[in-house]
Amino acid sequence: MKYKKQGTELVIVFDENEDNISLLDFFHQIHLSKKTIHLLQQNKEYMLNGHYTSINTHLKKNDVLTIQAYQSGIDFKPQAYPLKIVYEDDILCVVNKPKNTIIHPENKDGINTLCNYVAYYYQTTKQDYPIRYLHRLDRDTTGLVIFCKCSLLQPYFDHMIADKKIKKHYLALIEGHLNQESLTVHQAIGQNRHDKQKMMVSAHGKSATTHFKTIKTMSTYSLIECLIDTGRKHQIRVHLQHLGHPILGDPLYGHQTKLIDRLALHAYRLQLIHPLTHKKIDIVCDVNRDMKKLL
């Protein structure tokens, strides 16, 4: 499919991949809810080839769908910050979250969060969208965070994340050296009953799988790549503690160190499938200077 943004609408040109499926089938492909589909019908917020038509209409190659897809209104306080934009199109904005930064404030009047910095970026680039992050990183973890501009397609990305189809790769500096170059940890994770801030490996927790690969070893620490199949709270940190190799500078699951003044964890790569072009998007972001210095 090809697409373009036109005001608050998306104009989508179908190709042979959608030939002979119904419009309703397409709505299901992008994971629209029954309520959303009903409202699109009720308000006649879509047209096929210039005319409102039944959602049971079958599509043909080169059919053109025009559909209401965007909401307006920046809903966090814009705050100036030299934010690094790693990837952007009319659907997504992917940014490099700085260290010591939380994703969002407790209320819409709060400041000093990633949502405030993205709001400022939208404002200065004349993009009038609500600020919608798709996932989170811990305060001290740096790296890639996805924001969705297009409200119509947010359910697609939410489904992809829930279904583990957005691959998240991390780089971590850990204490010591893994005893294998590559290994996978399958250990369930649950709440630590003795410390509400912490999680722990627990037979009664939720299943969690993390893949680790050594990239480089130094005398007392290592650089490793981490790929998570699940998205449990503190998953990488807990699994590395379980292995006896906590992340450098991790105050919860390891030790503070003079080498770095924060958790040495960076979300460096995201891989996903675009909902409309169906092309693979592979986004990479280099580690911050504090981690690079140790390499």
CA nearest 10: which of 27, 25, 22, 24? 27
DSSP state of 197: T
Residue type, 219: S
138 is an active site residue? yes
Distance CA 51, CA 61 (A): 17
CA nearest 283: which of 274, 291, 293, 294? 274
The token pair at 232 is: 């449990």
DSSP state of 276: T
- The residues facing 126 across adjacent strands are none
- The residues facing 64 across adjacent strands are 13
Name the catalytic one among 19, 89, 138, 158. Answer: 138
Q: Which residues are catalytic?
A: 138
